[in-house]
Amino acid sequence: MRAMNLITLILIIIGGLNWLSMGLAGYDILGAIFGGSGDAVARIAYVIIGLSAIWQLMPFVQSFTETEVSAERHAHH
């Protein structure tokens, strides 16, 4: 599960940087890479990043009841 948590965290960071680019410059990096924000491939990338955020909710919620490191180690997905 540690690998999945790392992958999803990286994807969330990529999504956040894309939003930063959208907010500051009005430029959609992922849309540009995948052929436009309405293109099917770009939409799949957005969905994968969104699912990554959902995946990361479990360690986030567990961190309120356990130490953060323990929550990451024992995340049951």
- Residue 50's domain comprises 2-73
- Tokens of residue 6, six digits: 């790392």
Given this model, what pLDDT does residue 9 score? 94
Residue pLDDT, tens place only, 6-18: 999 999 999 999 9
> Into how many domains does the chain fold?
1
Pick the more confident residue, 73 or 37.
Answer: 37
- C-alpha distances (whole Å) from 25 to each of 14, 22, 30, 42 are 16, 6, 14, 19
Residue pLDDT, tens place only, 2-52: 899 899 999 999 999 999 999 999 999 999 998 887 889 989 999 999 999
pLDDT band at 61 (very low <50, low <70, confident <90, very high): confident
- Its pTM stands at 0.74
Contact 24, 18 (CB under 8 A): no
